[in-house]
Structure 1
Amino acid sequence: SFKPKDGSGNEDGGENFHGQKRKNDTHVSTTDPDSRLYRKAQGREAKLCDMGHALLENRNGLAVGGRVAQANGTAERRASEALLKQKTKETGKAATVGEDKAYDTKDHVAALRKLGVTPHVAQNNAKTKTGHHRQSAIDARTTRHDGYGMSQTRRKMIECIFGSGKQHGTMRKTKHRGLACIAGDFLLNLIASNLIRIPILVAA
């Protein structure tokens, strides 16, 4: 449920938003102020949510990092940069990362390269609403290598973690409120995924 940020509305708490546009800058959730309205794709309804982000080791399919952030148009890229910064600091080694088209922006690619991470992002050369084609932030100097194709293939393994977390875990609909509590719940889902995956790797 929502209420206007300016404090207007019915005294009994009941609201009628018929004919009104609800936006994050004008309305806030009454049950979880940390959540934000977010539309996952064009034509989909906006829902109150937070965004969970995971970092996957593509050589074994294990989750090696995770965090929860407020849902917005840049949250995925900022979370990726934060997770990779932490990981490269721990290992002290250069790395590559496979990501989808949503990560193909100049600022994100530049941020990863600054961290010593090679951005194997899926190229986004789609046609815009104005009829122009987007220009990918990477070119053949990155895509020509075999490692790029491998990263793009292996990155899809992360969908198994989220799929399992939604079907068997609590990712689809959390029972918690607030970023800190939701983050703890999200990380438990990642741990559970690893505990299922590790015996498979050991037996292989």
Structure 2
Amino acid sequence: MRGADTFTESLFSMRKLDDFVPKSHPLRSIRVMANEALAKMDRLFAGMYEADLKGGRPSIAPEKLLRAMLIQVLYSIRSERQLMEQVQYNLLFRWFIGLAMDDEVWVPTVFTKNRERLIKHDAVIEFFNEVVAIAEKKCLLSGEHFSVDGTLIQAWAGHKSFVRKGKDSDDQGSDGGSADDFKGEKRSNETHESRTDPDARLYRKGKTASELRYIGHTLTDNRHGLVVNARVTRADGHAERDAAKIMIDDARQAADDASAEITLGADKGYDAQEFIEACQQMKVAPHVAQNTSGRRSSVPDTIASSVGYAISQQKRKLIEQGFGWAKTVGRMRQVMVRGLKKVDQLFVLNMAAYNLVRMRSLAQVRP
């Protein structure tokens, strides 16, 4: 018999949000790890909101803000307005963030302003560090063998915003790279800057076209390809090697055994004499791919012929998975925020989310 097309609701419901989330849903284990990391940040959160104790209405809980930001990355949601719209009706999102069925959804502008407070106090960086600490606790890191690389991030700014420094767009002449007619004009980062994003730099790499960009850098552990350090810098020809030296030095200082052999895998772009010497001074074995195209490699042959070098060259390719995930799922191919600080925080949040997803997957295959 054909059923009637009717819609009736019960006056009362005894079900909880948790009842609507399947027991095997991947967000369950991710939420457990995220909550573990957030619990370690209680002191930071208390310091952020000390001023609110003197008066004013209660602000959004920072734990809920960070979980909402994670959902935005994990589900490729392009804006705060769209995120708040989906939280209104998506029970899975409400459950993950920590909102009850009857809780009001935040106004998008309020969410944005509260998120800026997290950025100001580097809460996202602290969250990333706590996620890495969880990975170390689960014995997912070697702590000795690493890989480094960088990737281009397109800025939220166009060529027409790239004008001569110190002048308004209305004052630009044909020799100043006008906002309306810039083709054929000589422009550089020394004489021009973007009006909409002054931190972005005109940059090209390889066969790519010149665009306003940043560079995202990551240091990954070779055991499972988890990201242990991440940062964003302005785009220039030395940024990748400079960031790599800072990140591997941090890893060297954090090593449990000061005498342990630390290795660093990298591609040919890092085969420069000053970088190889800097690694050796830090007691780091530079397992950098040799660049012998019309030149002599700076990597010693004794290192390049070792068994560990071959393993590092194989393992370093895992770093591309994090970049690919961030650019497709995390929408980092072209960021929708402006300014070095905000781009850096968004990139670090993406790497934290990537680690959580990867750790969840590793938990499924490890005994």
Fold shared by both chains (TM-score > 0.5): yes
Aligned match for 1:51, one of 188, 200, 215: 215
Say whether 1:60 aligns with 2:224: yes
**Which piece of structure 1 moves more, 146-155 or 85-94?**
85-94
CA contact (8 A) 2:163 2:179 kept: no
**Which piece of structure 1 moves more, 141-150 or 84-93?**
84-93
Whole-angstrom CA distance in 2 between matches of 1:183 and 1:14: 27
1:114-125 alignment, distance < 5 Å: 114-125=281-292
CA contact (8 A) 1:34 1:178 kept: yes
Secondary structure at 1:98 match in 2 = strand
Aligned match for 1:154, one of 304, 311, 315: 315
Match in the other structure for 1:170: 331
Q: Percent identity, please.
A: 40
Say whether 1:32 aligns with 2:197: yes
Whole-angstrom CA distance in 1 between matches of 2:219 and 2:266: 10
Whole-angstrom CA distance in 2 between matches of 1:15 and 1:3: 10
- Give per-residue Cα distances to partners, 1:106-129, cap 9 Å, x unaligned: 000011111111000000011xxx
Match in the other structure for 1:113: 280
Secondary structure at 2:347 match in 1 = helix
Say whether 1:191 aligns with 2:352: yes
Unaligned runs of 5+ in 1: 127-132
| Alignment RMSD | 1.6
Report which of the two structures shows the higher radius of gyration computed on alpha carbons: 2
Unaligned runs of 5+ in 2: 1-160, 173-177
Aligned match for 1:41, one of 196, 206, 217: 206
Whole-angstrom CA distance in 2 between matches of 1:56 and 1:8: 43
How many residues matched?
Answer: 197
Give TM-score scaled by structure 1 length.
0.91
Shift of 1:6: 4.8
Match in the other structure for 2:182: 17
Whole-angstrom CA distance in 2 between matches of 1:176 and 1:9: 22
Match in the other structure for 2:164: 4
Shift of 1:94: 3.5
Match in the other structure for 1:129: none
Larger fraction in strand = 1
**Which piece of structure 1 moves more, 110-119 or 96-105?**
110-119
Match in the other structure for 1:180: 341
Q: Residue 316 of structure 2 aligns to which amino acid in structure 1? A: R
CA contact (8 A) 2:162 2:179 kept: no
Give TM-score scaled by structure 2 length.
0.52
Secondary structure at 1:10 match in 2 = helix
- Give per-residue Cα distances to partners, 1:119-172, cap 9 Å, x unaligned: 00000011xxxxxx2110013210111100000000000100001111110210
Q: Which runs of 4+ in 1 moved over 3 A?
A: 11-15
Whole-angstrom CA distance in 2 between matches of 1:98 and 1:53: 14
Q: Residue 112 of structure 1 aligns to which amino acid in structure 2? A: C
Secondary structure at 2:186 match in 1 = coil
Say whether 1:74 aligns with 2:234: no
